[in-house]
Amino acid sequence: MSNAANLTFSQPTRHMTQETHHDYTGSKLGMWIFLVTEMLLFGGLFLVYAVYRYMHPADFHNAAQDLNVFIGTVNTCILLTSSLTMALSIATLQKGQRQAAVWLLLTTILLGIIFLVNKYFEWTAKIHHGIYPNSAEMLRFPQGEILFFGLYYVMTGLHGVHVVAGVVLLSIMVNVIRRKPCDVHVFGAASPGPAGVRRLTLTDATGHEMWTSEGIGELIDSVSVVVNYRPSEGRMRPQDYVALENCGLYWHLVDIIWIFLFPLFYLIT
Amino acid sequence: MKRDDMNADHQHHEHPAISYGKFVGVWLALLMLTALTVAASGLQLHVVGVVTAACVATLKTLLVLYIFMHLMYEERIFKIALAVGVATLAVFIALTFADFPFR
Amino acid sequence: MTAAVIAAAPREPSYLAYRGRYSGILGWIFSLDHKRIGVMYLIAQAVFFLVGASLGVTMRLQLMRPDNHLVQPQVYNALFTLHGVIMIFLFVIPSLSASFGNFFLPILIGAKDVSFPKLNLMSWYLFMIGAVVALMSLFTGNGPPDTGWTFYVPYSIRTSTNVVMGLTGVFIIGFSSILTGLNFITTVHRLRAPGMSWFRMPLFVWALYATAWIQVLATPILGITLALVVVERLAGVGIFDPAKGGDPILYQHLFWIYSHPAVYIMILPAMGAITEIIPTFSHRTIFGYKAIAMSSMAIALLGSLVWGHHMFVSGQSDVADITFSLLTFLVAIPSAVKVFNWTATLYKGSIVLEAPMLYALSFIFLFSIGGLTGLMQGALAVDVHLHDTAFIVGHFHYVMFGGTGFGFFAALHYWFPKMFGRSYSDKVARLAWGILFVGFNTLYFPFLILGWLGMPRRYYTYSFPQFASLEMLSTVGSWILVTGILLMVGNFLHAALKGARAEDNPWGGVTLDWKIPSPPPLENFEQIPVITQGPYDGFEGQAPR
């Protein structure tokens, strides 16, 4: 045992602390600033919409009557509901209820996909009626209506792209939060094993051996240990759920954009 | 000097957890506001209708921002960043409208 | 500040010598270290600058004589488009922010890195991908874009050249710019060293912070605008095409909503660097610290409200003309605040005219010419005469090259010893500066006169003999300028390979960057410094050099 007593364990060095450094507020601040840029991206389109609607109020009014308010309303409700399940998913994960979080996240993804399917049918119906950019049918429309449908396709299209990106992002998150946690309570001690070779072992709280090192030579008197700690149920730290929170922020933003797109295109009849 | 001005690692304030019931309540409010705005659009209110739609959309957005996105519990800089973005967009639109109506 | 604490420990390997998981070139292109990323931006920008400069020299050769046919007209159109796109989007928009900003922002606030190192590396990759896509438009499709860097509709919708690819490249570069801005804002908010309050930040940091906000707020508008032109070209969606009811002037609004603030993205970091250099070489604390810090924010704010002054003759309303003209005059105020504070800092200082200081002083001179000629165009009646003439070209080269370019060179001379741990020859640097300064003015001052006389910009050739002597003078200026640039580049290459070891603090600077080794170690600081003083305190009692 004297060997073990000589061996000291050092906490990970500065390099490790840099890598494991985590700034919870900082990552969310970064995400919020990104959301601001997204808002301005769509903001440019809202500006174009505002100018053309100002210039062609009657055409916009007439063109909007071709859109199906029922589908629009249903899709609005779907996205609002998906925002609820998203918020609940984060709330459950924060309390450590991993399983519930996964199911709520899957529901969110499903609602996102249903939204896209509705959108698909809506677009194809329009295209069947010959209303799509540069179509012979559409070029006969008054100019304001051409602009209305141009903006309709671009704005709902860009929004749809964001929904797709959100669905992909959330699917990745499902995998991330499903991973089973491993729980390390005790750093091990080095003791001379059989044949007098010193080994380092890590054990969990119950004393169950989890890992044993190669033999440690006589000349080594200090060992650094790095443990990739994953939390157990119910003991969540901010860095365990900040990624999901940031994805959630993105998802809510996509919802907010739809909250504005819906009245601007469907409800101006 | 304020604490959040410092380079303190790991400093973060935990949010007071929002109850599930509150989330569901906000969701119901959002659905009701949607119903309201659809119903109002059927009434052919012209200017009043536009104002109603804008107010409802803004209200819905605030609910999502403050509750679903936890903005009400975030530090001041989060609200400033958002306000700066909104103000910038408003100014861009306003200054562009120094042109079109006066042609 | 805390020099004793930081310098005491034995030296760690520098960020240049550090061996991480990868070595050689992979150790650079996979590095998350803000300093290596900054150096990679610097190298890329230097290459793009030389490419852009050679396109510019070719244009000068074409304009050297009346009725010249050195290149084909279509080639000339491609030349001015690519010269603009490369210089604007690949050199002056990333400018000092991406290179020196990345390198020095964390150091100047006492941090080990930026908030999001991976995002930082991704920004660099996006920048390079965007650059490659933009340059590929040269060799693919129906030839390089010929629209000018502004991509005005409806021509950019109708031309058969490779506009889509050029636009895609610019779009990707814009995304890179946004991510850098986001990263810098978060870094400044979250990673300042203990005791580094907002008004203890060096003024370069203030300038970068203001720039980052413009990047974040204005660039998305450009992104969506260019994307609209792309979908209009590819899918025939009616947005800007007048045949489909679109309004081309709306495109101009959207384009300049970004591109005017972009001018301040280009110039603000250069102003920040100048603000670091002048106190160091005057051995005197900065005059009017808060005024300079706030003027950076004021420029960011007011600069976002003046875009309409690019459109005085476009057919926008008189109300818009007058509004934007007024706002344009206002934006001169914060710029002038900076100039006055710089000159006040010089007053009674112990001025040392080493190379960085020469560049800094010529920055003030050239930027003042650029700024004041800008005010002339802000006046509505004068602008009608000057719009689309060589005067405009002269003006923005005084601002962009005399300002940002000279600021970039100043920063490079100032920080080169810190970044690479090597000294360049001061004699050669001063000689190169002299040649550059003479060449610059010989090249661009004739533009102002030519424009005043009525020489239009973007014209392939001209038949008026009365322009010939000034055009010739300008072309000779371009040769002098190129000589100066090559001498400067040669000086730096020689220093990087064979230069003597640089001291940690060769200029007697007092900000944090001068209190760590040259070149800095991987994590900048042995331990995070505690700040107890203003950024420019400490010149008092310094031995005269």
pLDDT band per the 50, 70, 90 thresholds, residue C11: low
Q: Are residues B64 and B95 in the same domain?
A: no
Residue pair C273/C100 in contact (Cβ under 8 Å)? The answer is yes
Strand A190-192: give its sheet, edge to edge: A190-192, A198-203, A209-216
CA distance C506 to C330: 39
C545 belongs to a structural domain: no
Per-residue pLDDT of A214-227, as tens digits, reads 667 666 766 666 66
C364 belongs to a structural domain: yes
pLDDT tops 70 at residue C452: yes
Q: Residue C330 in 3-state DSSP?
A: helix
Q: Which residue has the higher pLDDT, C108 or C144?
A: C108
Nearest by CB to A143, which of C189, C231, C245? C245
Span of A147-151, B5-9, C229-233 with lowest mean pLDDT = B5-9
H-helix segments, chain A: 2-6, 14-20, 24-55, 57-64, 69-94, 98-128, 136-139, 143-178, 238-266
Give the phi and the psi of residue A268 in degrees, each rounded to 5. Answer: -105, 25
Nearest by CB to C189, which of B77, B95, B98? B77
pLDDT band per the 50, 70, 90 thresholds, residue A205: low
pLDDT band per the 50, 70, 90 thresholds, residue A237: confident
| Domain carrying residue B34 | 19-69
B98 belongs to a structural domain: yes
Q: Are residues B36 and B55 in the same domain?
A: yes
B40 belongs to a structural domain: yes
H-helix segments, C347-467: 355-378, 380-386, 390-399, 406-420, 426-453
Query: Between chains, do A29 and C236 touch, taking CB under 8 Å as contact?
Result: no
CA distance C199 to A12: 35
Tokens of C520: 């800095």
CA distance C436 to C492: 15
Per-residue pLDDT of C378-425, as tens digits, reads 999 999 999 999 999 999 999 999 999 999 999 999 999 999 999 999
Per-residue pLDDT of A6-15, as tens digits, reads 444 443 333 3
Q: Are residues B46 and B84 in the same domain?
A: no
Please report, for residues A33, C268, C275, C287, C294, the alpha-carbon distance to residue C344 in angstroms, rounded to integers and kept in the order given.
Answer: 37, 19, 12, 6, 17
Q: Are residues B65 and B44 in the same domain?
A: yes
B6 belongs to a structural domain: no
Q: Are residues B64 and B24 in the same domain?
A: yes
CA distance C160 to A6: 78
B57 belongs to a structural domain: yes
Mutate to test the interface with B, among C253, C326, C524 (most CBs of B within 10 A): C253
Cβ-Cβ contacts under 8 Å, B89 against chain A: 39-40, 43, 46-47
B61 belongs to a structural domain: yes
* Eight-state DSSP code of residue C465: G
pLDDT for C296 equals: 94
Q: Are residues B93 and B81 in the same domain?
A: yes
Q: Are residues B23 and B59 in the same domain?
A: yes
Percent of chain C scored above 70 by pLDDT?
Answer: 97
| Domain carrying residue C117 | 3-531
Span of C14-23, C52-61, C233-242 with lowest mean pLDDT = C14-23
pLDDT band per the 50, 70, 90 thresholds, residue B10: very low
Mutate to test the interface with A, among B68, B77, B82 (most CBs of A within 10 A): B68
User: What's the mean pLDDT in C280-299?
Assistant: 95
> In Å, how far from its chain's centre is CA A201?
38
Contact of A58 with chain B, judged by CB distance below 8 Å, is answered with no
Residue pair C455/C389 in contact (Cβ under 8 Å)? The answer is yes
Residue pair C222/C252 in contact (Cβ under 8 Å)? The answer is no
pLDDT band per the 50, 70, 90 thresholds, residue C19: confident
C544 belongs to a structural domain: no
CA distance A37 to A41: 6
Contact of B91 with chain C, judged by CB distance below 8 Å, is answered with yes
Per-residue pLDDT of A141-175, as tens digits, reads 999 999 999 999 999 999 999 999 999 999 999 99
Residue pair B23/A91 in contact (Cβ under 8 Å)? The answer is yes
CA distance C126 to C169: 9
Q: Are residues B65 and B41 in the same domain?
A: yes
Nearest by CB to A147, which of C178, C216, C238? C238
Q: Residue C365 in 3-state DSSP?
A: helix
Query: Between chains, do B96 and A51 touch, taking CB under 8 Å as contact?
Result: yes
B2 belongs to a structural domain: no
Give the phi and the psi of residue A232 in degrees, each rounded to 5. Answer: -95, 175
pLDDT band per the 50, 70, 90 thresholds, residue A228: low
CA distance C72 to C51: 20
Residue pair C110/C529 in contact (Cβ under 8 Å)? The answer is yes
pLDDT band per the 50, 70, 90 thresholds, residue C142: confident
Query: Between chains, do B20 and A69 touch, taking CB under 8 Å as contact?
Result: no
Q: What end-to-end distance do the CA atoms of chain A give, in Å?
A: 85
Chains with ≥3 Cβ pairs under 8 A against A? B, C
pLDDT for A239 equals: 78
Residue of C nearest to B2 (CA): C197
CATH number of domain containing C444: 1.20.210.10
Domain count, chain B: 2
In this structure, the strands spanning A198-203 and A190-192 are antiparallel
- With a cut of 0.85, is the ipTM above it? yes
pLDDT for A107 equals: 98
Query: Crossing angle, helix C318-346 and helix C355-378, to 10 degrees?
Result: 150
C308 belongs to a structural domain: yes
Residue pair C240/C157 in contact (Cβ under 8 Å)? The answer is yes
Helix then strand then coil, in percent of chain B rounded to 5, is 70, 0, 30
Span of A254-263, B38-47, C182-191, C308-317 with lowest mean pLDDT = B38-47
Query: Between chains, do B98 and C221 touch, taking CB under 8 Å as contact?
Result: no
Q: What is the largest CA-CA distance in chain A?
A: 93
CA distance C94 to A99: 45
pLDDT band per the 50, 70, 90 thresholds, residue C12: confident
Query: Between chains, do C185 and A33 touch, taking CB under 8 Å as contact?
Result: yes
Query: Which of these, C368, C197, C185, C190, lies nearest to C289 by C-alpha position?
Result: C197
Per-residue pLDDT of A80-123, as tens digits, reads 999 999 999 999 998 888 899 999 999 999 999 999 999 999 99
pLDDT for A97 equals: 87
Question: Which residues of A, range 91-110, sit inside 8 Å of B by Cβ?
Answer: 91, 94-95
Domain count, chain C: 1
pLDDT for A11 equals: 39
C413 belongs to a structural domain: yes
pLDDT tops 60 at residue C129: yes
pLDDT tops 90 at residue C507: yes
Span of A131-135, B43-47, C118-122 with lowest mean pLDDT = B43-47
Please report, to the nearest 10 degrees, the dihedral formed by the alpha carbons of residues C532, C536, C542, C545 taken in order: 150
C539 belongs to a structural domain: no
pLDDT for A195 equals: 52
Cβ-Cβ contacts under 8 Å, C189 against chain A: 26, 29
B87 belongs to a structural domain: yes
Q: Are residues B30 and B59 in the same domain?
A: yes
Q: Which residue has the higher pLDDT, C72 or C24?
A: C72
Interface of C with B (CB under 8 A): 110-111, 185, 189-198, 213, 217, 221, 249-250, 253, 257, 304-305, 307-308, 315-320, 323-324, 528
Residues in chain B: 103
C246 belongs to a structural domain: yes
B10 belongs to a structural domain: no
Q: Are residues B27 and B65 in the same domain?
A: yes
Nearest by CB to A26, which of C186, C217, C220? C186
SS (H, E, C) C290-315: HHHHHHHHHHHHHHCCCHHHHCCCCC
Percent of chain A scored above 70 by pLDDT?
Answer: 73
Q: How far is A62 from chain B (nearest CA, A)?
A: 13
Q: Are residues B94 and B64 in the same domain?
A: no
Per-residue pLDDT of C148-194, as tens digits, reads 899 999 999 999 999 999 999 999 999 999 999 999 999 999 999 99
CA distance C30 to C72: 43
Q: Are residues B23 and B56 in the same domain?
A: yes
CA distance A14 to C522: 11
Query: Which of these, C216, C346, C186, C370, lies nearest to C274 by C-alpha position?
Result: C346
Query: Which of these, A268, A247, A239, lies nearest to A83 by C-alpha position?
Result: A247
CA distance B93 to B50: 17
Please report, for residues A76, A229, B68, B71, C174, the alpha-carbon distance to residue B31 in angstroms, rounded to integers and kept in the order given.
Answer: 9, 42, 14, 21, 37
C122 belongs to a structural domain: yes
Count of CB contacts below 8 A, A vs B? Answer: 123
pLDDT tops 50 at residue C1: no
Per-residue pLDDT of C193-225, as tens digits, reads 999 999 999 999 999 999 999 999 999 999 999
